[in-house]
Amino acid sequence: MTTKTDLLIVGGGPIGLHCTYFLLQSGRSVTLVDQAQAGVGSGSGNAGHIVPSHIVPLAAPGVIPTALRWMLDPPRSPFGLKISLQPAYLLWLIRFAAACTEANVQRAISPLKALGLLSAELFAQIIAEEHFACSYRENGLLFLYNTRTAFEAGKHEAALLHQHGLPAEVLERQAVHTREPAALESVLGGVHFTGDASLDPGEYLRLLRARILTMGAHIQEQTPVTGFETRGNKIVRVLSTTEDFAPEQVILAAGAWSPQITRPLGLNLPVQPARGYSLTASGLESLPRGALLLGERKIAVTPFENKLRITGRLEIGEMSTAPNPLWIRRIEAAAREYLQLNGVLHIEETWAGLRPVTPDGLPVIGYSPHYENLLLATGHAMLGLSLAPATGQVTAALANGQQLPFEIRAFEWRW
Ligand SMILES: Cc1cc2nc3c(=O)[nH]c(=O)nc-3n(C[C@H](O)[C@H](O)[C@H](O)COP(=O)(O)OP(=O)(O)OC[C@H]3O[C@@H](n4cnc5c(N)ncnc54)[C@H](O)[C@@H]3O)c2cc1C
């Protein structure tokens, strides 16, 4: 069976759901397909940080020496690297190493800042207009540091943000303990990125999925896309395990799975998965006041209504989404180096998700090189929730041939 549709979106993660939301708002008819369930994949168990303060991409000077140093101490390392000789993976690593330059950072700052600020604004707007109850807090992201060296690096980042007109408050020992009473005595300083926010991502995405259904979206779940039929430079049919679609336009928003979907089209999309884990605990006597980032250990902590989520690890090249119990225990132990937590946490859920990472750390947003009716919206790495509303709005504008709110050349296809 072939279903004719106006717009087909492949992937119901944060990006696909927001593309659907803004396209429906603009009057388009949208079918969203997901291989599993929309709103549940790599977005639901993440830290829920909305971070316009993140203006430096993953590929930056100093990242490789730091990662190598971490790997000398595997049990404490926030970073892992799959060992593989697969050519696409090796090429990705070479491109990543080549992109770790000051020039890449300078190229990225302005577009990342524009996308991040617009997204933060849109989150506030959507949550207010749609009355989403999702533990949304506009009280920033507080970095905690246990060592002088990391605190100095945090101060450097705060200065960079000031240069770009973004807020960041440096807190010496006493001030950081007043701001976050859950911090242990060992914490000697902090930086508070006061323009950031946080929410419960699973709850937010569940509400967004329900909202786009009432707006008229056709959501086809348990429907993996398996291939395409093309005519000249147009996609005429999208094939799936359950039915085929004949769309006018296609938006690919399949996160870390995007390269395997685009391969039959001859597009070598350089996106690698970077797996991470989370645990969600309930029944805590008290929760931290707001979202935290534990500096040296790169652990994110987020209080929801009456739960606490702790997330960590970035394992490049790992595609399976089975949570690893050893790493869940290590992530909890790392959080205890900074925070007072209950004796034994009542862990309700453990989770693993995949961040889609491009070699230069910037997302890919825009038309594909060979197909005039294929748009790409992927590669958001650790910012796929944070940047989702703006990506959705920009992608909808591109699909509708409308003017964009800002320049997105840095995000276009570049390989
Ligand atoms: C531990 C951890 C913590 C994180 N914390 C944050 C955070 O605090 N803030 C933040 O902004 N980001 C965070 N992230 C990153 C964020 O979760 C990702 O960047 C985001 O999920 C990417 O969104 P996406 O929509 O591009 O892809 P995904 O969320 O991966 O969604 C892709 C969808 O495509 C579907 N799909 C795949 N293949 C097919 C197919 N063949 N056919 C149909 N559908 C298909 C999948 O089922 C999935 O639903 C974190 C990630 C991890 C792992």
Task: Verify that 283 and 142 share a domain, yes or no.
Answer: yes
Q: What is the pLDDT of residue 344?
A: 87
Last residue of a domain, one of 357, 373, 402: 357
116 alpha carbon – ligand 1 mean position (Å) = 17
Q: Nearest-5° angle of CA 81, CA 86, CA 92?
A: 60
**Per-residue model confidence as pLDDT tens digits over 181-239:** 999 999 999 999 999 999 999 999 999 999 999 999 999 999 999 999 999 999 999 99
Q: Nearest-5° angle of CA 293, CA 296, CA 301?
A: 25
Q: What is the pLDDT of residue 343?
A: 81
* HEC assignment per residue over 18-48: HHHHHHHHCCCCEEEECCCCCCCCCCCCCCC
Is pLDDT at 173 greater than 80 in this prediction? yes
Give the Cα separation of 252 and 139 in Å (integer): 33
The count of domains in the chain is 2
Q: Is 353 in the pocket of ligand 1 (CB under 6 A)?
A: yes
382 alpha carbon – ligand 1 mean position (Å) = 9
**Per-residue model confidence as pLDDT tens digits over 9-48:** 999 999 999 999 999 999 999 999 999 999 998 999 999 9
Q: Whose CA is nearest to atom 1 of ligand 1?
A: 276
Ligand 1 atom nearest to CA at 311: 1
Work out the widest C-alpha separation in the chain, in whole angstroms: 66
What mean pLDDT is reported for the chain? Answer: 97
How many residues does the structure list for the chain?
Answer: 415
Is pLDDT at 118 greater than 80 in this prediction? yes
Q: What is the pLDDT of residue 342?
A: 77
Query: pLDDT-based confidence at 93, cuts 50/70/90?
Result: very high
Q: Is 384 in the pocket of ligand 1 (CB under 6 A)?
A: yes
Q: Is 311 in the pocket of ligand 1 (CB under 6 A)?
A: yes
The boundaries of the domain holding residue 80 are 58-101+135-197+271-357
Give me the residue label for tokens 């291989």. 35
Instruction: Specify the pTM.
Output: 0.98
CB atoms within 10 A of CB 98: 12
Helices 201-214 and 102-130: angle between axes, nearest 10 degrees: 60
Task: Verify that 286 and 316 share a domain, yes or no.
Answer: yes
- Overall average pLDDT of the 344-370 stretch: 96
**Per-residue model confidence as pLDDT tens digits over 252-274:** 999 999 999 999 999 999 999 99
76 alpha carbon – ligand 1 mean position (Å) = 25
376 alpha carbon – ligand 1 mean position (Å) = 14
Q: Is 323 in the pocket of ligand 1 (CB under 6 A)?
A: no
163 alpha carbon – ligand 1 mean position (Å) = 31
Is pLDDT at 302 greater than 90 in this prediction? yes
The best mutation among 382, 391, 394 to test binding of ligand 1, ranked by most ligand atoms within 8 Å of the C-beta, falls on 382
Give me the residue label for tokens 């009716």. 373
Task: Verify that 162 and 299 share a domain, yes or no.
Answer: yes
156 alpha carbon – ligand 1 mean position (Å) = 30
Is pLDDT at 319 greater than 80 in this prediction? yes
With a pLDDT cut of 70, the percent of the chain lying above it is 100
CATH, residue 193 = 3.30.9.10
Task: Verify that 97 and 62 share a domain, yes or no.
Answer: yes
Q: What is the pLDDT of residue 71?
A: 86
CATH, residue 378 = 3.50.50.60
Give the Cα separation of 262 and 128 in Å (integer): 36
CA distances from 282 to 112, 330, 347, 352, 397 (A): 34, 18, 7, 18, 41
